[in-house]
Amino acid sequence: MMKITRTGLMAMGAVALLSSCNNDDNGGSVEVRDPAEVAVENDADIKEYLSTHFYNYEEFDAAAKDSTYADSTGFDFKIVIDTIAGENSDKVSLMDQVEKKTIAVELSAEETLDHTLYYLVARQGDDVAPTTTDSTLVRYKGFLLNDVVFDNSNTPVWFNLESIVEAGFGRSGRGFAEFMPALHSGGEIDINEEDGTYIISGDYGVGMVFMPAGLGYYSGSGSIPAYTPIAFAIDLLRVEKIEEEEE
Q: What is the pLDDT of residues 184-230, one digit of tens each?
A: 999 787 877 787 777 887 899 999 999 999 999 999 998 999 999 99
d(C-alpha 224, C-alpha 226), whole Å: 7
pTM over 0.75: yes
Long-range Cβ contacts of 57-66 (<8 Å, 24+ apart)? 57/92, 57/97, 57/122, 60/122, 60/123, 60/206, 63/123, 64/123
Q: Does any domain span residue 236?
A: yes
- Give the closest residue to 176 by CA, choosing from 221, 220, 130, 126: 130
Please report, as a single letter, which amino acid is at residue 181: P
Average pLDDT over residues 134-143: 95
Q: Does any domain span residue 75?
A: no
Q: Tell me how many domains the chain contains.
A: 1
The whole-number pLDDT of residue 27 equals 54
Q: Does any domain span residue 106?
A: yes
Burial 38-50 (b: 16+ CB within 10 A, else e): bbeebbebbbebb
Q: Does any domain span residue 173?
A: yes
Among 155-164, 176-185, 222-231, the minimum mean pLDDT is found in: 155-164
Count the neighbouring beta carbons within 10 Å of the beta carbon of residue 67.
Answer: 8
**Containing structural domain, residue 121:** 2-22+99-240
Q: Does any domain span residue 44?
A: no
Exposed (0-12), middle (13-18) or buried (19+): which is 130, by Cβ within 10 Å?
buried
* CATH for 184: 3.10.50.40
Q: Does any domain span residue 16?
A: yes
User: In the predicted model, is pLDDT for residue 139 greater than 60?
Assistant: yes
Q: Helix H segments across 30-189?
A: 35-52, 57-65, 69-73, 161-166, 174-179
- Please report, rounded to a whole number, the percentage of residues in the chain having pLDDT higher than 90: 69
Asked if 182 and 102 touch (Cβ cutoff 8 Å), the reply is no
The whole-number pLDDT of residue 142 equals 96
Q: Does any domain span residue 56?
A: no
Q: Does any domain span residue 86?
A: no
